[in-house]
Structure 1
């Protein structure tokens, strides 16, 4: 019984996050349908993911995939070849932008985002450029300036690639700042600890 009670906490937390997303969207006069909640389950057991799935949620994420693409277009080419080898449909990808200037964060510099987005769109037929993402500061929170920076990058990318802004996602906002991100235009928020609880790492021996 104790296990079931503990597992129910995640589903309850998800409902709370959904309510907060709804309220943030209303404050920004945006339809909540424009915002996707990605439940980031890093270090958590499958049982908790199943609980969230059973509650009706369908968007899940992990953190390490972002390491596949780094700054140079050559890395996007590696992903392109990998997807081609799988014989699957084109893979939607987001270009990560380092909006905080932190060395510990992956992603291209804001000045490089147009170049990489253009490369993905024009040179990688097995990839579909779908938007931009950012993580923010070392503590995984962002400032309004981080969000404004990513929004500015989207404007430049959309102008260069001649695509409408609504077809270019802005993935910004995590557990500590997703409401502010939504109010500033985020279409994709990545929420982990607020739903699943603090991450659990193996203890070093």
Structure 2
């Protein structure tokens, strides 16, 4: 009798494990499916703006998401990933393939520059250079490590919100000049902005960044094609592409809503 009960329990456990595995397999494909949908939407937006979809980089922003989910999107063929926090990217990058091109897109403090660069050898770009001080720290750190020049975007605060990081549009040209002419270990690649969260002034924000690009290119004597625009996130990336974005940062639309750890009470 005991053996029969044990066998029955075992069968129930095996059936439950199989169902759990099937559910996990179904969940495992969600991010890859979402990526395919984003690729299609990017292609349509690119066509509307008279460009090819391969002229637009899709940065899959994986903050708060586990390595397993990033790996799923990587296995679907994607190679561009972005993180907002130094501790997260330093922990995740070594667990993932070296051919990933990582972008750091969050506010970067001076004391975190060295850990970021040494912890992520395949860091391709920092999108959030917003003052001379951080540019100089990055320049020196790259030189000290002896790695290849680091690509950077200059972050511009196009919405005028005090809570947002970024150089004021009026100071954009001078900061870009400093990066381009005074930081030999940095490679200026373009401008980045974050529009207002409620999207009320998104078109104006994007237009402001495009105007900044025109001024920068004129000051440096370069073609506008040599200055990327990183603008647009999950809620507004199609509009951003139509307004000239070459780099869209998409998180929740690919990976699902972010899950932040609950703050423990003291």
TM surpasses 0.5: yes
1:203 aligns with 2:224: no
Map of 1:128-167 to 2, 5 A cutoff? 128-139=187-198, 143-167=202-226
Counterpart for residue 95 of structure 1: 154
For 1:33, what is the secondary structure of its paired residue? helix
Distance in 1 (CA, whole Å) between partners of 2:254 and 2:223 is: 33
What is the aligned length? 205
Higher-RCO chain (CA-CA 8 Å, sequence separation at least 6): 1
Distance in 2 (CA, whole Å) between partners of 1:60 and 1:161 is: 29
1:127 aligns with 2:156: no
For 2:29, what is the secondary structure of its paired residue? helix
Distance in 2 (CA, whole Å) between partners of 1:186 and 1:112 is: 21
- Runs of 4+ aligned residues of structure 1 deviating over 4 Å after TM superposition are 139-142
Tell me which of 10, 30, 34 is aligned to 1:9.
30
TM-score calculated relative to the size of structure 2: 0.74
Map of 1:38-77 to 2, 5 A cutoff? 38-64=59-85, 65=104, 66-68=106-108, 71-77=130-136
Larger Rg: 2
Distance in 2 (CA, whole Å) between partners of 1:51 and 1:141 is: 34
For 2:65, what is the secondary structure of its paired residue? coil
Distance in 2 (CA, whole Å) between partners of 1:160 and 1:83 is: 26
Distance in 1 (CA, whole Å) between partners of 2:57 and 2:179 is: 23
Residue ranges of structure 1 left out of the alignment (5+ in a row): none
Residue ranges of structure 2 left out of the alignment (5+ in a row): 1-20, 86-103, 109-127
Compare 166-175 and 29-38 and name the one that shifted more. 29-38
Change (3 A) 1:141 1:21: farther
1:105 aligns with 2:168: no
C-alpha contact 2:60 2:250 (8 A) present in aligned 1: yes
Compare 187-196 and 1-10 and name the one that shifted more. 1-10
1:30 aligns with 2:51: yes
TM-score calculated relative to the size of structure 1: 0.96
Change (3 A) 1:201 1:75: same
For 1:38, what is the secondary structure of its paired residue? strand
RMSD (CA atoms): 1.4
Shift of 1:37: 0.3
Shift of 1:138: 3.7
C-alpha contact 1:141 1:176 (8 A) present in aligned 2: no
Shift of 1:52: 0.4
